[in-house]
Structure 1
């Protein structure tokens, strides 16, 4: 049974993660160890999820998420729950050609013994009537965050992960998730592989779902390794040019791209015309909180290449490494900037809302 959820023109959302409370994990840090254990940790994660939801609702977000409060990292927490991966005997690999990390090894056939995030998604669904977006790692980015000692083929491993992700995504949709988002920052680096098999693996992960699907492709969190890499990319960041034409033809419903304070030429958005676009209007690599007018300027520029009823204002990437107060300020600015442009469009066309496709599907 499907249920239409009316939503505003320019519905706002985040790319995914938000800062964790300092009592749960070290703030402003990725892969931060938990400060609680056992039942206290389980309760603490749920408390943090509620607080994250409250921050999103207070800011006025139209599409909310879990803020990734119950996971240490957007990729490895999912992988930790899979069979065939050894987290004890790690190997050092180069992550997205930017930095070295000690990562788990694939030592056997990978599989999912049980749903990973479904209980958390059900918990979130019970606490809000807003549309929910849930982020999962994409298959290519999962491959790039591991050492493969078993399949010895990035394409084969990605295909196996795609099947596992598809199982998880269907379970998430069944408990009321409206949009399943797959995070694929690897697409900004491995263009040939993305076009050869990465996007096909992504489509397999997203196939047959009763909810909408999205892929988030960015230039990374605002951590030093990523900001240093960006400085090597020159005056124009044209990586999207390599994959957007293929993604425009893909079965994914929504493409999520980085924009504000980046050097991505705005005209590249035209390569994805026809798709819904989550356009990053918040810079996650600075503690400076954008003004609503700065957000509005980013959205106005995007509207030259994206139809108004297909533009979803968002953040460039997750905000886990930022201070909580900064993240809250940025969420408020995002919503205020969208409100400005929403009002301008309404004045121009004489109607306050657009009729958008259904976001919610009940299993």
Structure 2
């Protein structure tokens, strides 16, 4: 059963087991191949579901155990993209990376994650969530050598994502999350076409939709960028008013140990809010009271029945024991506040 008050969820990734890929390393190559790799991914998913369940997480994800990269693993299943001749681009306007290039019309010839989602559905009776990259973030993680327009390519990706999302919904997925860290960088594009493209990706879905916008994994490039942002990170003020008027159901943001002013949550009043109450840039394990206090402060700006305690971002780079302990801290902190709210209502 899922807690109806303050249901907990993780944003995305959990560390993979050491027999599947290199630990504490983002986007590490697989250690297995062929049938053993397929079996290994399913075993890793089983472990991720078990640990989330044991540690009190209500909305269960696959922990991204079947993916190497949150964007390119989806893109590599599309036609029109060349992974052999990579190009170097500046991602999110802050770090260079070697990325695949769009060389023709992008098309989805077959489902990408649907079979994995069907398997996840068999592992738990709780609500399940699946994450997909958002259209703008997909565009920003590629070299475009064909369309000549970031907006045009984003609309193509939005239609493809909508196909995948509808099939994920049919496979039993309750919550579909779109990751859009690019929304914290390209403010003019967010207003011009970013939110509209994201809505196109969600068109016609009955599953709950989530827009996840964060400041990235706790890697050096992101941490160095954060150090330049000053004492208040007010980026959400650009996208939240637009998202508040959008068809997206839930807004996910980074909060704990960040310089994001909590009052920005007021800008999405009426939406459900996935509030990051676990730091993913620090291996220190939060106490239940620290988590509860982060959530407690947010209640000034979001109604309790719309608050979903979560992590700031994914935890793939962490040691496995640290990530799992942080899951326990998240659920324990939510339980503290849940009890307070129930007692206050009696």
By the TM > 0.5 criterion, same fold? yes
Corresponding residue number in structure 2 for 1:336: 332
Tell me whether 1:316 sits opposite 2:312 in the alignment. yes
Indicate the residue corresponding to 2:87 in structure 1: 91
What are the within-5 Å matches in structure 2 for residues 200-211 of structure 1?
A: 200-211=196-207
Matched, 1:234 2:208: no
Hey, what's the Cα distance between the residues in 1 that align with 2:251 and 2:96? 28
Aligned residue-pair number:
346
Q: CA deviation at 1:8?
A: 2.5
Q: Does 1:120 align with 2:110?
A: no
Residue 192 of structure 2 is matched in structure 1 by 196
SS in 2 for 1:109: strand
Contact 2:2 2:127 in 1 (8 A): no
Q: In the aligned structure 2, how far is the partner of 1:230 from the partner of 1:28?
A: 21
SS in 1 for 2:263: helix
Equivalent residue for 1:157, pick from 153, 157, 168: 153
Q: What residue ranges of structure 2 are gaps of 5+ in the alignment?
A: none
Provide the TM-score with structure 2 as the length reference. Answer: 0.99
* Corresponding residue for residue 106 of structure 2: 110
Deviations 1:120-179 (A, max 9, x none): 000000110000010000000000000000001000000000000000000000010000
Query: What's the CA shift string for 1:16-65, capped at 9, x where partnerless?
Result: 10000011000111110111111111110110010011110011101010
Instruction: Indicate yes or no: 2:286 matched with 1:290.
Output: yes
| Corresponding residue for residue 272 of structure 2 | 276
Higher relative contact order (CA 8 A, sep 6+): 1
State the SS of the aligned residue for 2:68. coil
- 1:266 pairs with 238, 257, 262, which one? 262
Unaligned 5+ segments in structure 1 are 351-363
- The alignment partner of 1:262 has SS state of coil
Offset of residue 210 of structure 1: 2.0
CA contact (8 A) 2:7 2:58 kept: yes
Following TM superposition, where does structure 1 have runs of at least 4 consecutive aligned residues deviating by more than 4 angstroms?
none
Tell me what 2:169 maps to.
173
SS at match of 2:62: coil
Deviations 1:58-115 (A, max 9, x none): 1110101000000001001000000100000000000101110000000000010100
Question: Residue in 1 aligned with 2:11?
Answer: 15
Mapped to 2, the partners of 1:233 and 1:85 lie a distance apart of 34
Distance 2:18 2:94 in 1: 28
Distance apart, 1:184 and its partner CA: 0.1
Q: Distance in 2 between matches of 1:341 and 1:177?
A: 28
Shift of 1:7: 3.4
Normalization by structure 1: what TM-score?
0.95
Query: Is the Cα contact below 8 Å between 2:276 and 2:313 reproduced in 1?
Result: yes
Q: Which residue of 2 aligns with 1:62?
A: 58
SS at match of 1:83: strand
Who is 1:50 aligned against? 46
CA offset digits 1:247-272 (Å, max 9, x no partner)? 00000000000000000001111111
How far off is 1:6 after superposition? 6.0
